[in-house]
Amino acid sequence: MSIERVELYELTLPLLEPFIISGGTMTVRRSLVVVLQDDQGNRGYGESPPFELPFYSEETLAGARDLLEHVLIPRLIRSSTENPEAVDTALRIGVRGNAFARAGVETAVWDLEAARRKTGLAALLGERAGVQPATTIACGVALGIPPDRSTETLRRWIDEAIAQGYRRIKIKVAPGWDAAPVAAARDAMAGSGLPLTVDANGGYEWPEHESNLRRLDEARLLYIEQPLPPDELVGHAQLVDELKTPICLDETLKDARAARQIVHLGGPRVWNIKVHRLGGLSEVGRVYAIARGFGAELWAGTMPESGIGSQAALAAASLPGFVYPSDLEPSIRWFGRNSDVIKLTMTSDGHMDVPTTSIAARLDGERFKEAARLIAVTSGE
């Protein structure tokens, strides 16, 4: 794959309102965007979306930028690899973790292949997995902890989400913000027929918060997402036996190695697949194969990313076995009207089309120029 030029941008998209989880608060979505150009003028785009502080993972935006500038992009330029999987292998040599940084480059290489072959990421991913991707995916809403910690605010958000057509409601929980919001959500959702899930982002400890988790277990939830810290593989496997409600893994599922351990332990069988947390689409393919063998039920999570990074998540969500609504939401939900660099839209019945073209074909170039700042340019010459 002849890459002639690599551009690195910082993309800044203000959020409509703060998004609060158990570990921290986000008011502006800053991420890094890698743009590749080959000798035929084709362009591939990839997003690296770690947070600025390490409340979700150990990786930060500043660390990802440094690694991209000084290690990963120069290595890509020197590489003579011919496909995304080979690039993924090259990026891992001597680099532990740093999945978000690697994903920025790796997904851009996938998109460059899509541009060269005049197709979309979903078609490429389905081709590699030997499956036929779906043409639409179901969308679920992810509601953060209200800044005012008011269940009335949460009820209002849920009313709006139901009216907009979302196919699943998810609320963020934390010790001290769990029983009351779940009860409020249940009341607000009465008669809707929609499933309710909660996401703790690793905010609980076992057995310290056993009573909290037992109460959640009685709340008729579709699943409880990431109740314990990310390194609690054994703890999450134990919760499968302790609780009736299915346990869903997010931060714990960081790569195929973790997936194999989950299988060996007989752990949770609901998996949140986040492309950038896994390091890119090549690792998604490896985890997907393990999940299918284990019988895990999948869905696609987001950070959330901009419309650029969401293209990879949409591709993953289109694969058979992704049975639950994803966290992919219309751009207006996070950034307001006409603010995202690729506009994501949702139908009135809560579905989103899976793109059949590369990212460059869908990018709002003018909006990207307004929201992105060029950081570095690397030439392959």
DSSP string of 136-169, one letter each residue: EEEB-EEE---TT--HHHHHHHHHHHHHHT-S-E
Q: What's the confidence (pLDDT) of residue 24?
A: 83
Greatest Cα pair distance in the chain? 62
Of 56, 44, 23, 101, which is closest to residue 301 (Cα–Cα)?
56
Q: What's the confidence (pLDDT) of residue 339?
A: 96
The sign one gets for the Cα dihedral 59, 354, 222, 241 is: negative
d(CA 132, CA 123): 8
Q: Whole-model pTM?
A: 0.96
Q: Which residues are catalytic?
A: 172, 274
d(CA 378, CA 229): 38
Residue 357 amino acid letter: T
Q: Facing residues of 353 across strands?
A: 136
Alpha-carbon torsion angle 127, 342, 369, 42, nearest 10: 20
Q: What's the confidence (pLDDT) of residue 241?
A: 96
Q: What's the confidence (pLDDT) of residue 79?
A: 85
Would you state the structure tokens that stand for residue 52, as one six-digit string? 């600025």
Q: What's the confidence (pLDDT) of residue 381?
A: 60
Cβ pair 31, 11 in contact under 8 A: yes
Q: What is the pLDDT along the chain (381 residues), one digit of tens a residue?
A: 689 999 999 999 999 988 888 888 889 999 999 999 999 999 999 999 999 999 899 999 999 999 999 999 999 998 877 799 999 999 999 999 999 999 999 999 999 999 999 999 999 999 999 999 999 999 999 999 999 999 999 999 999 999 999 999 999 999 999 999 999 999 999 999 999 999 999 999 999 999 999 999 999 999 999 999 999 999 999 999 999 999 999 999 999 999 999 999 999 999 999 999 999 999 999 999 999 999 999 999 999 999 999 999 999 999 999 999 999 999 999 999 999 999 999 999 999 999 999 999 999 999 999 999 999 999 876
